[in-house]
Amino acid sequence: MSLSDEDLRRALAERSATVMRTGSEEPDRRLGPIARAIATSPTIGRREPLPGARSDWALLPRVAAVIVIAFLGLLAIKLPPSPSGDASTTPRITRTVAPSSQSVAPTPTAVAPAAAPFRIVGCEDLEFSAVRCAAVVARARESALPPLRAEDITAATVARPEVDYTIRASFPIAAVSFALVGGGSAEVEVRCGLPGNSDRACNPNAAIFVRGGIDQDVPCAGEAPEHACATLPPSPRPASIKAAEPLRVSVFDLPLDHLGRYEILIGIARLPDGVMVERSARLADTRPTTLWIDDGVAIDVRSDISGRPPIGSVYRDPYDGPEPVKVYLVFDVVELKPGAVLQVRDLVVR
């Protein structure tokens, strides 16, 4: 059976469309996703050959178009090099957290306190870390009379203080000299006594701590033996112990969105006969770089019963049955960067 010229042209056109759609004559693995999309496009892969043109030659422009467009597409999607020099395909993920709807960014920038707008020198000679150096200079600014504003300072020099042989409750750790805008200067001596756990100026190993535990101090009305001291309350009764409900929180991540005081309700508990035997927690990071808290994070347990004494002492007056309480975290944030999260772990109140 013979075929007309029109039948031959139609057959070749159908074969061309099949090839362009990566059918049996060209497997899919040979084309990337962009080229594959172009090949199956109705405007490129299914166009009829021009009238009067040879079918074999009509295929060449379409093949050339696919190659050129695919090459340009690959150039368009080329990823920028990663810090190591290779193209990276790992997406940067931003997680939104409640309640402040802030994004947890990989590299937050400081919002408070702002980085010193003046030059600081001399800390290396005293072997102060960068964190301690900044804290010492900030302490000196606050101790000056009157306190100095950062914008009034052009430079700060930290030097070793003079030896002080006077017996005092504190000792000098640094002498800070401020060069002021307009040509003046100010000299401030920074002194330390017994440093607190979170005092970054005086404690080289400063860390944020959790304030919990049970107070074991014996309260007395006056000097013994004239004035009696408190005695321990009776142990909780078995029925009250059975009805009690401890609070246990293994992971609690709190996004921080402002400087200053926080009082965060963590949960509720029921203490057997009003007796608390454990109040503890820990921080996942005690030396975070995105936040700082002075005087620690307090676990504050408050009774839901009006008129009951504060909770914390082992000598607290007993209660008849399980006493309902609320558990708060209370702390003051003095330094904060965007996306900062306080990570509390293994909190227990019982």
- Kindly provide the b/e burial profile for residues 33-48, where b requires at least 16 CB atoms within 10 angstroms of the residue's own CB: ebbbebbeeeebbebe
Strand duo 247-255 + 341-349: pairing: antiparallel
Q: What is the pLDDT of residue 221?
A: 76
Residue 119 β-bridge partners: 155
Residue with tokens 């074991």: 216
Q: What is the pLDDT of residue 229?
A: 86
Q: How far apart are CA 311 and CA 275, in angstroms?
A: 9
Q: What is the pLDDT of residue 230?
A: 85
Torsion of CA 100, 105, 109, 110, to 10 degrees: 40
Q: What is the pLDDT of residue 5?
A: 55
Tell which residue, 323, 207, 220, 329, has the closest CA to residue 267.
329
- Report yes or no on whether pTM surpasses 0.85: no
Residues 201/174, Cβ–Cβ less than 8 Å: no
pLDDT tens by residue, the chain, 350 residues: 455 555 545 655 554 444 444 444 444 433 334 333 433 444 333 344 444 444 454 555 555 555 655 554 544 443 333 333 333 332 222 222 333 333 333 333 334 444 568 999 999 999 999 999 999 999 999 999 999 999 999 999 999 998 777 778 889 999 999 999 999 999 999 999 988 899 999 999 999 999 999 999 988 876 666 667 888 999 999 999 999 999 999 999 999 999 999 999 999 999 999 999 999 999 999 999 999 999 999 999 999 999 999 999 999 999 999 999 999 999 999 999 999 999 999 999 99
Kindly state the greatest CA–CA separation across the chain: 131
Q: What is the pLDDT of residue 259?
A: 96
Tell which residue, 169, 172, 140, has the closest CA to residue 156.
140
Q: What is the pLDDT of residue 231?
A: 87
List CB contacts of 209: < 8 A, sequence separation 6 or more: 197, 198, 283, 286, 296, 297
Provide the 10 A C-beta neighbour count for residue 301.
20
